[in-house]
Amino acid sequence: MSFPPRFGTLQISPRALKPHVDRALAGLRLPPAPRVLDAGCGHGLWSAYLVRRLPRASFLGVDIDAACVSACAALGLGSRARFEVLDLHRLEKRGAFDLILCMNSIHYRGMEEVEILGRLARALAPAGRLLFVGPMATDLQPFPWERFRPRPDYDGYTVEGLREKARRAGLVEILARPVVGPLGTLAKGISRAVQGAPILKFLVYPFLYALLLLDALLPAQDRAYYLLGIFAPGGESR
Ligand SMILES: C[S@@+](CC[C@H](N)C(=O)[O-])C[C@H]1O[C@@H](n2cnc3c(N)ncnc32)[C@H](O)[C@@H]1O
């Protein structure tokens, strides 16, 4: 299954994450017609992917950025998917979703992660699951050529740090593990280096995809680019 043509074809991050997301989803027992929230949906990449993968699911994608929501609406994902402008700090749904995706959405400075995670916890149905992905703290700028880039506006996660935030938010950990190891990280670093050079980009991308394929075959790494977690509701703060 591929990403919709508009996204993903030249995006290394989602391609690197895809096998891990697929594996995580395959391990979940979702109801036949799951209700899915894409929290901080951005341009709708994961909603668009999962609309195909979960043919009876209904989707609500929310994002604080109205331009993102318009872009999602323009994807034409059909009546099963709708998108709304919403600040996740104001999410008020309760028990409404069987699956919540929180994909690289709440790690930015100034965001109240524990508060948002608490809102996501309360928005989950009792048997619902939160699929979380965020950047690891270890590899924010791992390559020499990245020293000249501005520091990202986030600090990234450690496994212990995410565990603690999730616990305080009333979530129960099912798994939390680093994903996308050194080869995937290298692919991402090279893709960033050639971002402004379209011809070079097309030339190196097959090589980068090969790196991603190899990376996905490696066992879980301690140092990795992303942290993937699956959480259930039901912790003490609910
Ligand atoms: C890095 S993008 C990830 C988008 C998408 N989840 C993906 O993986 O492609 C982060 C998204 O989170 C959204 N976001 C940031 N703060 C938010 C907030 N307080 N409430 C809702 N969305 C927010 C941004 O507008 C942006 O679209």
Give the number of the atom of ligand 1 that is nearest the alpha carbon of residue 87: 20
The answer to the question of residue 173 being in a domain is yes
Cα of 43 vs centre of ligand 1, distance in Å, is 9
In-domain check, residue 237:
no
pLDDT at residue number 1: 44
Residues of the chain short of pLDDT 70, as ranges, are 1-10, 139-147, 220-223, 235-238
Domain hosting 67: range is 5-232
pLDDT of residue 10: 56
Residue 73 lies in a domain: yes
Residue 8: the pLDDT is 47
User: How far apart, in whole angstroms, are the C-alpha atoms of residue 129 and residue 143?
Assistant: 35
- Ligand 1: list residues with CB < 6 Å: 40-42, 45-46, 63-65, 68, 87-89, 103-105, 111
Count the Cβ atoms, other than its own, within 10 Å of residue 3: 17
The total of other beta-carbon atoms located within 10 Å of residue 158's CB is: 15
Q: What is the model's pTM?
A: 0.89
Distance 174 CA to ligand 1 centre (A): 24
Question: Directed axis angle between helix 12-26 and helix 198-217, to 10°?
Answer: 30
Please say whether the beta carbons of 233 and 171 come within 8 A: yes
CA separation, residue 188 to residues 10, 17, 93 (Å):
11, 11, 35
Q: Look at the chain and report how many structural domains it folds into.
A: 1
- Residue 167: the pLDDT is 96
Task: Give the domain CATH number at 24.
Answer: 3.40.50.150
Sheet strands side by side (includes 58-63): 81-85, 58-63, 35-39, 97-103, 124-135, 226-233, 171-179
- Assigned domain for 220 exists: yes
